[in-house]
Amino acid sequence: MKKRLALLIYPEFSLQEIANLLRLFRWKYDTVTDIIYTEKTVVKSEEGITVMPVKTCDEFSPEDYDCLLLSGCSDIRMALRNQKLNTFLKSFKDNTDFIIAAICSAPLFLAHAGLLRGKKYTDSLFMEMRSLFYFIEEENFLPLPVVEDGNIITANGAAFNDFAVHLAKKLGYECQSPILSGYIEDWKKNDYLHHLTTEEQENFVKEFQNFLCNQ
């Protein structure tokens, strides 16, 4: 165990979705988290907190880390259109041993890089988005808090505590499920199914037309 995580960030990334996970790994397992981005420049989270990455994607080596972590983001536009980010994620396509864990909207970036092809997954996308993006395999979506398929772990954004516990267990740590406050066990299918309004869907299609199935 290397006891080191890598957190891949991008503009508007969510801190709250991974805060409990980072706290759990730092204080219970003495694990360090390094911040990774395509450039060594300040990045602002969706909460308005600025973060400076310690490494660029070009400097990243999977051999130095136990896991690559991706949080969701309130605005997917910049990250989705970041070609360097997409190229970096594509580099893991043939690395089926290295663990990649993504929560909320972040599985979208994995799908865009081809990492979810043929894999079961979950996310927090609106159902209409999932059906419109050409690179998403909608039939493989599971309405569950956390889904593990091979080396890929995905989670719904509301299941951030489940996500932390699941990753800890995946990496071989002893971890009891109720270790984090707010842990929810009574999940229902409708907790994972979200819809856009007609107006929201029209705006979405205009904004992301280059990434969508033929309309």
Taking only the tens place, the pLDDT of each residue in 25-52 is: 998 899 999 999 999 999 999 999 999 9
Proportion of the chain above pLDDT 90, given as a percent: 71
pLDDT digits (tens, 9 = 90+) for 121-156: 999 998 888 889 999 999 999 999 999 999 999 999
User: Would you state the structure tokens that stand for residue 80, as one six-digit string?
Assistant: 């989705």
Average pLDDT, the chain: 90
**Residue 197: C-alpha distances to residues 73, 108, 203 (Å):** 20, 20, 10
The CATH number covering residue 133 comes to: 3.40.50.880
Query: Which pLDDT score is estimated for 187?
Result: 63
- For the chain, how many structural domains are there in total? 1
pLDDT digits (tens, 9 = 90+) for 162-202: 999 999 999 999 886 655 544 455 666 677 678 888 888 88
What is the rounded distance in angstroms from the CA atom of residue 42 to the CA atom of residue 131? 34
- Domain span including residue 187: 4-211
**With 60 as the cut, is the pLDDT of residue 215 above it?**
no
What is the rounded distance in angstroms from the CA atom of residue 112 to the CA atom of residue 132? 13
Proportion of the chain above pLDDT 70, given as a percent: 92
How far from the centroid of its chain's Cα atoms is residue 164's Cα? 12
Query: Which pLDDT score is estimated for 182?
Result: 46
The pTM (predicted TM-score) of the whole model is: 0.86
What is the rounded distance in angstroms from the CA atom of residue 195 to the CA atom of residue 131? 11
